[in-house]
């Protein structure tokens, strides 16, 4: 009884179906997190602009105080200016890190979406394979009920295929549960892009695109060879006429 409960809990089909739901459920939360990071970037940009404006205003007040021979006021404004510059520098550093965090979060989302689609496809393929394996298992059960000569060999072959299918499904389940590797995904994406460019180049060659230069070159060579042949022919005719006159 206990073994049956464990088997139902660790049912690969149920686990894969749950994984598909969880992958899709993560998208709204990820979008919310990225929106929070983006909001922080916007807030820091406004803060930097506010400090820059404050520095310009304080600088103008310092100049006005100096022109009015009010060094005491100028000194007070100078301290405010120093503090504003410190705040501006601090806000700029925070803005830099926030922009880097937003860019990283955006890349993580793109990698996650690619991995999600890949894992969902693998999971659904494994589920379909499992359905086929279950049908084949029922066929094998039916074959086991017969004891006709030569049928045992067929039965063993079918059972072997079912075991092979089951092993493949379990292997695909392990692949579907692997952790996300963003660096590997970017490399794969670049490789796919290069492959796509190669395929486009092959199509262009098959369609005759990009071969105009070679065609023109061949025509030029043919014309040059024809001119050379005509010149040689002219020389030969001239020599013949000279000999005939002699």
131 in a structural domain: no
Q: In the chain, where do the E strands start and end?
A: none
> CA torsion, points 169, 174, 177, 181, in degrees to nearest 10?
-120
127 CB-near residues (< 8 Å, 6+ apart): 13, 16, 17
74 in a structural domain: yes
115 in a structural domain: yes
Q: What is the CA 120 to chain-centroid distance, rounded? A: 16
- Distance (Å, whole) CA 59 – CA 192: 55
142 in a structural domain: no
pLDDT, position 224: 54
What is the extent of the structural domain holding 14?
A: 1-120
CA angle 83, 87, 90 (to 5 degrees): 140
pTM over 0.75: no
- Other Cβ atoms less than 10 A from the Cβ of 181: the count is 12
pLDDT, position 183: 65
105 in a structural domain: yes
pLDDT tens string for the chain (246 positions)? Answer: 334 444 445 777 788 888 888 888 888 888 898 899 899 999 999 999 999 999 999 999 989 988 988 888 888 989 999 999 999 999 999 999 999 999 998 888 888 888 888 888 888 888 888 788 888 888 777 766 655 555 556 767 777 888 888 888 777 766 665 555 556 667 877 888 887 888 788 878 888 875 554 444 444 545 555 555 555 555 444 444 444 444
| Separate counts of helices (H) and strands (E) for the chain | 6, 0
pLDDT, position 95: 92
233 in a structural domain: no
- Count the domains in the chain: 1
141 in a structural domain: no
Any idea what DSSP says for residue 178? S
- How many angstroms separate the first and last alpha carbons of the chain? 123
78 in a structural domain: yes
CA atoms within 13 A on the CB side of 164: 6
Query: Which residue has tokens 């890949």?
Result: 118
């Amino acid at each position: 009884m206990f073994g049956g409960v464990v088997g139902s809990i660790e049912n690969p089909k149920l686990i894969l179906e749950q994984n598909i739901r969880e992958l899709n459920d993560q998208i709204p939360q990820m979008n919310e997190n990225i929106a929070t990071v983006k909001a922080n970037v916007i807030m820091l940009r406004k803060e930097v602009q506010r400090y820059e404006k404050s520095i310009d205003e304080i600088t103008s007040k310092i100049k006005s105080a100096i022109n009015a021979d009010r060094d005491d006021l100028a000194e007070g404004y100078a301290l405010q200016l120093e503090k504003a510059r410190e705040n501006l520098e601090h806000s700029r550093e925070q803005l830099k890190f926030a922009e880097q965090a937003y860019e990283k979060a955006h890349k993580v989302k793109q990698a996650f979406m690619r991995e999600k689609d890949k894992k969902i496809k693998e999971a659904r393929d494994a589920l379909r394979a499992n359905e086929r394996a279950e049908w084949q298992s029922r066929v094998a059960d039916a074959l086991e009920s017969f004891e006709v000569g030569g049928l045992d060999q067929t039965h063993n072959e079918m059972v072997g295929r079912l075991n092979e299918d089951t092993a493949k499904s379990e292997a695909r389940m392990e692949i579907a549960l692997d952790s996300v590797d963003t660096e590997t995904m970017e490399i794969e994406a670049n490789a796919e892009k290069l492959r796509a460019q190669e395929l486009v180049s092959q199509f262009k060659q098959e369609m005759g695109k990009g071969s105009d230069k070679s065609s023109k070159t061949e025509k030029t060579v043919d014309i040059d060879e024809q001119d050379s042949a005509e010149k040689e022919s002219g020389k030969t005719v001239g020599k013949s006429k000279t000999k005939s006159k002699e």
